[in-house]
Amino acid sequence: MPAIRGTRGGMAAWKTKRLGSAFVAALIGMMPALAFAHAGERGFVLLMPRGYALWGGTLAVAASFLVLLAIPERPVGRFAAAELRLGRLPALPPILLSALSFALMLALIVAGLTGTRDPLANPLPLTVWTLWWGGLTAAHALFGNIWAAINPWSAPHRALRTVLRLPEAPLAYPRRLGHWPAVATFLGFAWFELVDPAPDDPARLALAVSAYAAATLLGMLLFGARAWLAHAEAFSIFFRFVSLIAPVQAERDRGLTLTWPGAALVRHGPLSLSATLFVLLMLATVSFDGLSKTFWWLGLGGINPLEFPGRTAVMGRNSLGLLMSWAALSTAFGIAVLLGGRLARAPSLALGAFALSILPIALAYHLAHYLPAFLVNAQYALSALSDPFARGWDLIGLAHRHPTTSFLADYHSVAVLWTVQSALIVLGHVLAVLVAHAIALERFGTGRAAFLSQLPLALLMIAYTAFGLWLLSAPTAG
């Protein structure tokens, strides 16, 4: 996680009020450094009541699984079917939104290349890592697939096609490629975010955004917008998957509908192998982001977490750790699903049948992980957008506003923040258990077979709950 995204769940913690107060006093003195320093330069310990939260959250997920077994099959089945029509979609043309989005992207790239090199004053890193990656993801979890309407690719693609007089799809997208280009792209993005020495450097990030934009437009020109965005463009796929959790769903032929959170996951068909691995990569990356900063992980490499030397010292082991996290999670998931198929006497059960149940967990980790940084850096983003090119402008009247970080130095505020993060993780796992149970009932039709098929996966989810809460409570550095 780049520097500007500041503090993490490790801040939001306490063990006793006396210890909490003592650390809060120390934290007050650290606030300027925490706000402006690279994350690689921080190292602090705030103790939490790890046992209570870990056991409480884990038992809550286990209890939700047991409660579902006592609920008749029909109400669970209605979970996916229930919906309320909200009306037609707004009439604003998507191509106009895409054009505005493309113009904003170009302006941010120029700001990254020509503006200040301070990542807390330049709007490009603040917009990418805070407003887009943190805030827009949360918006998708509530309001559906916003990215489909505002992506910055559709408008320039149409313009280039018109100028070059190209057909919609000069080449057919190879079916054997599946979602593998998106998997490779998302893995590269994760490496840049979590391992690269300076992902929040404005000029460096501007070049990365420019290269990705050029590659995306080239792919769309060659294989067509629909095929490329559906199979190869990592963020269109990422946001589409996240939007399946949203209670608000938007479809052109049906308009806006209100459903239960996660219901669209149950209605979705099984994923391909490449799409399944993409979903698992979503969870593995945010999990490793947290793990790589723990004292435990740094200690494995003989690094003193309180004197963290910077990202360059851990690039090799973090690159390997990222791949190993993905491989370990994928292996555990595969074993759990295949074992469930054996127990239910359905050995041919596809891995993609239950892959979508992982998405609520991935989203919960994402929101919990980025929440503290978003609360701080969104304020910096508004100030930077008021003077995007460091020319002394004040476009929205916020250029000289000083961001508030005092809530991170208050014991009670920190306690509330950590409680919210913990609740997000637990609720994400509970929703995942519900979705997995509903999918199992869809496939098997009987309670006993559904129970047996998801039992190993439920145990994996319970264990991952404990792991997530441990990550949230662990002391961090780097």
Tell me the sheet residues that pair with 477: 43
Q: What's the average model confidence in pLDDT over 103-114?
A: 97
pLDDT at position 221 over 50: yes
Neighbouring C-beta atoms of residue 75, cutoff 10 Å: 9
Residue 7: C-alpha distances to residues 94, 129, 134 (Å): 36, 14, 14
Contact 272, 179 (CB under 8 A): yes
Confidence of residue 348 (pLDDT cuts 50, 70, 90): low
Q: Write out pLDDT tens, residues 142-179.
A: 999 999 999 999 999 999 999 999 999 999 999 999 99
CA dihedral sign of residues 108, 197, 325, 308: negative
Q: What's the average model confidence in pLDDT over 312-330?
A: 96
pTM to 2 decimal places: 0.88
Confidence of residue 399 (pLDDT cuts 50, 70, 90): confident
CA-to-CA distance for 326 and 331, rounded, in angstroms? 8
Query: If you search the block for the tokens 């014991």, which residue do you land on?
Result: 411
Closest CA to 337 of 180, 458, 467, 464: 458
Q: What's the average model confidence in pLDDT over 304-310?
A: 88
Neighbouring C-beta atoms of residue 446, cutoff 10 Å: 12
CA-to-CA distance for 286 and 366, rounded, in angstroms? 6
Q: What's the average model confidence in pLDDT over 326-353?
A: 87
Q: What's the average model confidence in pLDDT over 286-293?
A: 95
Residue 118: C-alpha distances to residues 124, 189, 384 (Å): 10, 22, 10
State the pLDDT at residue 94.
79
